[in-house]
Each structure stands twice: as C-alpha cells, then as structure tokens.
Amino acid sequence: MKDFSGKLAVITGGSTGIGRALAKQLASEGCSVAMCDISQADMDESCAYAMDGAPQGVRVTGFLADVAMEAELEAFRDDTLARHDTDHIHLLFNNAGIGGGGSFVNTPRDVWERTFAVCWYGVYYGARAFLPALKRADEGHMINVSSVNGFWASLGPDTSHTSYSAAKFAVKGFTEALVNDFRLNAPHLKASVVMPGHIGTNIALNTMREFGELSEDDIPDSLSEDGADQQTRGEAFRDNGLDPAEAANIILQGVRDERWRILVGTDAEALDQAVREAPEAAYEREFMETRVAPILPAIVPQA
C-alpha cells in the first residue's frame, strides 16, 4: 500500500501522541480516518487538528470507546462503517495503551488487569471487531503497536514492569503469528508490529489520569530532577522523547515498505541489538546501567 489517498484508516487511542500524529499525517495524504478514545475533549481536538489543511473529501470521525470493552469496540466499528458509508477499511492501527500495573507482587490486581486489558485486549478486540471489514478491502494492513518492552520486559533495575511488558509481548507474538496466518488465509492483508522506544507522548500523564497516584513500581525515574513529583516526571517523559510526528513518519513508511517489524527510534534499534547480543544478561543491573542507560536515559538513569 504505497498510496493512502482515498483509503480509510481506523486508529484506536487517536486523541494524543502517536495516534494523533498518525491521524494528521494520514488525513494530509488524503486518507479518511476513524478514531476512538476515552476522552471526548482530546478526541475533538485531535479530529480538528487532523482535518486542518486536509484535502477535499477527507473525513475524520471520533467515537468514545474504551478499548478494553469488546462491545464498545464493536459499536465503534458499526459507527465507523455507517458514518463513512462503507463496508470496508484499509488500515487498522491498534494503538491505544496505558502504563501502570508494574508489580505482579504488590500492585492491586484491578490495576494490573486494567493495564493488561487496555494494552493487550484492546489490540485483540480491535482486531476481532475490524477484521471482517479489513478483509473486504482489496488490500489491507493491520498495524499493532507493541513497544521495546515487547522484547525487553523492564524499565530498569529498580522498577517493576510486569503488566505492560506482558501485554506488549503478547501484541508482538500475536502480530508475528498473523504474518503467516494472513499469507495463508487472507493473502491480500499484511500485518506489522510497531516497537517504539521513548516517544514524547502523554502516556505517563494519561496513566496517572486513569489510576491517580501511582506507586514507585508504576512510574520510572525520568529526566527531571531527583525528588520531582509524578506530574513533573510525566511531563519530562513527554517533553524529552522522539517527536510523535517523527514516530508516525517511521510507522507509515514501514507500512509502505510492507515491513512486518517496525522499530521506532534509534534507541529502539540500539536496545534491540543490545538484547539480541546478550539475552541472558538483559535483566542484570550491569547490563542495564552500561548498555541500556546510554540508550534510554529517561527510563534508566545513569549510575
């Protein structure tokens, strides 16, 4: 799929960060967009931002939905097909995610399972809901957003990171399995797994909005000064990563190139190489402090 003009893209988690940047870039290329999110205000802003300067004929719609609830994603699908007057879509970006649920030992079960539900079941339910519409297109592409935490289950030696990592590993494995499944059973479809490094998004701030105050197992040290409160640390995480627009550029080029594995950011590429070179050492303090901290300083501070 080299040209997105005249296509219809579905984006979960479209109101901020990578989702908003994808909507903007796709709309600017003549692709209509249907997005969902849990914040109506953020989504309205994102729709207006995407439509600003878009070519004539492009439509951008929003729908309030919690991706952890299958019925709400099914309602989002029905709304998308009705409002765009179609029976098919061309692009599905299962992008929504939150943090939290750091410790399997100490984090309350409802918090742990909420994070896992958004980050894994949001992808699974999105894929289930929209696959029939994707199959009805002459060509289609499902893009599932995992993370570097889909191949490295850590935020450093002093922070637990179990729920998010488990979910992102599941997203990665599911998408890799789809590559051959589509080849065998729906050869006009492609699948890609996206693994971003540190992107300057509101994920930490949105996680705090979801859960309120988080434990130290749920938010790592950031680029802010020692002793900073969680709001300041979340803002520092947002303000110091790769620009979401650049992340969207990388993802969309990966789709054009039909790459099933899309690493986003030089930090993601370097971390992938480091883990592959020393997988048995990947969770040792020395590895994290000498190999990971120079790559992801916002997550693993220098020793």
Q: Is the pLDDT of residue 270 over 50?
A: yes
Give the pLDDT score at 212. Answer: 63
Give the pLDDT score at 223. Answer: 43
Q: Look up residue 205 and give its two tokens.
A: 């701030």
Render pLDDT for 45-57 as a digit per residue (tens, 0 to 9): 999 999 999 999 9
For residue 104, CA distances in Å to 126, 146, 165 come to 26, 20, 11
Give the pLDDT score at 303. Answer: 40
For residue 144, CA distances in Å to 3, 56, 85, 158, 281 come to 20, 29, 25, 29, 28
Q: Is the pLDDT of residue 61 over 50?
A: yes
Average pLDDT, the chain: 90
Nearest-angstrom CA–CA distance, 273 and 279: 10
Render pLDDT for 149-202 as a digit per residue (tens, 0 to 9): 999 999 888 889 999 999 999 999 999 999 999 999 999 999 999 999 988 665
Give the pLDDT score at 222. Answer: 46
Name the catalytic one among 49, 125, 164, 283: 164
Per mean pLDDT, which range of 58-72, 201-215, 251-265 is the poorest?
Answer: 201-215
Q: Is the pLDDT of residue 44 over 90?
A: yes
Render pLDDT for 222-249 as a digit per residue (tens, 0 to 9): 444 455 566 665 555 655 678 999 999 9
Nearest-angstrom CA–CA distance, 117 and 5: 33
| Domains and their CATH numbers in the chain | 8-292 (3.40.50.720)
Give the pLDDT score at 265. Answer: 93
Give the pLDDT score at 294. Answer: 86
Is 121 catalytic? The answer is no
Q: Look up residue 269 and give its two tokens.
A: 């590429």
Give the pLDDT score at 211. Answer: 63
Give the pLDDT score at 237. Answer: 61
Nearest-angstrom CA–CA distance, 278 and 299: 20
Percent of the chain with pLDDT over 90: 76
The whole-number average pLDDT for the span 261-278 is: 96
Burial class, 84, CB count within 10 angstroms (exposed 0-12 / middle 13-18 / buried 19+) = middle
Q: Look up residue 271 and give its two tokens.
A: 């971390």
- Which pLDDT band holds residue 219 (cuts at 50, 70, 90)? low
Are 156 and 220 a contacting pair, CB within 8 Å? yes
Give the pLDDT score at 33. Answer: 98
Q: Is the pLDDT of residue 41 over 80?
A: yes
Residue showing tokens 């894994």: 120
The whole-number average pLDDT for the span 33-47 is: 96
Give the three-state DSSP class for 164.
helix
Full-model pTM: 0.91
Residue type, 196: P
Give the bridge partners for 196, in sequence order: 264
Radius of gyration of the chain (CA): 19
Q: Is the pLDDT of residue 126 over 50?
A: yes
Give the pLDDT score at 63. Answer: 98
Q: Higher model confidence: residue 55 or residue 206?
A: 55
Q: Is the pLDDT of residue 215 over 60?
A: no
The whole-number average pLDDT for the span 119-134 is: 98
Q: Is the pLDDT of residue 87 over 50?
A: yes
Count of helices and strands (H, E) across the chain: 11, 7
Specify the pairing of strand 140-145 against strand 189-196.
Answer: parallel
Nearest-angstrom CA–CA distance, 111 and 116: 9
The whole-number average pLDDT for the span 32-38 is: 97
DSSP string, 17-51: HHHHHHHHHHHHTT-EEEEEES-HHHHHHHHHHHH
Q: Higher model confidence: residue 289 or residue 176?
A: 176
Give the pLDDT score at 199. Answer: 84
In the sheet where 60-64 sits, what is the strand order? Answer: 60-64, 32-37, 8-12, 91-94, 140-145, 189-196, 261-264
